[in-house]
Amino acid sequence: MDHFLTMRSFVEVVKRGSYTEAARTLGTSRALVSRHILDLEHRLKIRLLNRTTRSITLTEGGQQYFDFCDRVLQEIKENEDQISGKNRAPEGTLAVIAPKWLANYEVADAATSFSIEYPDIILKLSLGGMAPNAYDFVDRGYDVALHTRQIPDSLIRVKKITDIEFALCASPDYIADHPTIETPDDLTTHKGLVQVNDAVWRLESSDGESVKVRMPAAFTSNTYVVLHKAAVKGLGVAVLPMPLASEDLENGKLVRVLPSYSIETRPLFAAFAPGAGTPVKVKLFVDYLTRWFKHGPL
């Protein structure tokens, strides 16, 4: 039996969560898809899937084999596209979603330069409206989503773009009107301006000591743009990305809190849909962002 055909059947069953849906996608019968899975399990001498009347889940060995199959099939597709010339003229719409505050970062400049270099790709960059579930962007019609937190869904492809620096900040008025903050423990008596996905702050002292602080939230938001404005207005203490805070730290509207401690950097990830054969326009954009943040404007 064709090895790659059985691998593709297995990958589609996992992604669709159904033998029937996998067969429909592949344009074949459910019985043949089932036979493909049994053939793989017989050849590998392991069970790949746990089957119940309601769900299909991967075994530990099945997860390892799925990752392998998905990667191999993707590489085959990409190489075939290159040989056939499909990669020579990328075009079409590329929909990207990112948090609002990244507009203050180099993402907007990188996106503009990308559009200049690839004029046949129509870039649609949406800022804000990020869903709580990191993988919902696929169902909403986006090709790429930019995140600063880990994405646990193993079926979503993720590539690290760069690291972003953060700072612990407050306004001078807030600092003057409230008790002195000398240690991380002092923070727990202050008003925290907390990002809903970042309730625990991780600080590191100059000698490498790591400290976790769970801040009492006096004000919360799902975007750093709002927390930045709240900090400038003196509502409390916030952990802010440096692309947002740097200008106000320079002009004195914000000051650093516990300057002898640093806030851990956060990775900027590009997430894109699973599947064998990442669209060329997606790969080009993700690779372009990676080079931009590594080497500067291209």
The Cα 226–Cα 150 span in angstroms is 22
The Cα 222–Cα 199 span in angstroms is 11
List per-residue pLDDT tens for the chain, 298 residues long: 578 889 999 999 998 888 988 888 888 888 998 999 999 989 899 999 988 777 888 999 999 999 999 888 888 877 776 666 555 567 789 999 988 888 767 788 899 999 999 999 999 998 877 766 666 787 788 899 998 876 665 567 888 999 999 999 999 999 999 999 999 999 999 999 999 878 889 999 888 888 999 988 999 998 898 999 999 999 999 999 998 899 999 999 999 999 999 998 888 999 888 765 678 899 899 999 999 888 766 5
Give residue 277's pLDDT: 62
Nearest to 176 by CA among 239, 215, 234: 234
Give residue 272's pLDDT: 87
The Cα 17–Cα 34 span in angstroms is 13
Q: What is the DSSP string of the chain?
A: --HHHHHHHHHHHHHHT-HHHHHHHHTS-HHHHHHHHHHHHHHHTS--EEE-SS-EEE-HHHHHHHHHHHHHHHHHHHHHHHHHTTTSS--EEEEEEE-GGGGGTTHHHHHHHHHHH-TTEEEEEEES---SSTTHHHHTT-SEEEESS----TTSEEEEEEEEEEEEEE-HHHHHHS----SGGGGGGS-EEEETT--EEEEEETTS-EEEEE--EEEEESSHHHHHHHHHTTS-EEEEEHHHHHHHHHHTSSEESSTTEEEEEEEEEEEE--SSS--HHHHHHHHHHHHHHHHS--
Please give the torsion angle defined by the CA atoms of residues 285, 290, 295 and 298, in that order, rounded to the nearest 10 degrees: 0
The Cα 263–Cα 249 span in angstroms is 15
pTM, rounded to two decimals: 0.62
Give residue 85's pLDDT: 56
Give residue 182's pLDDT: 93
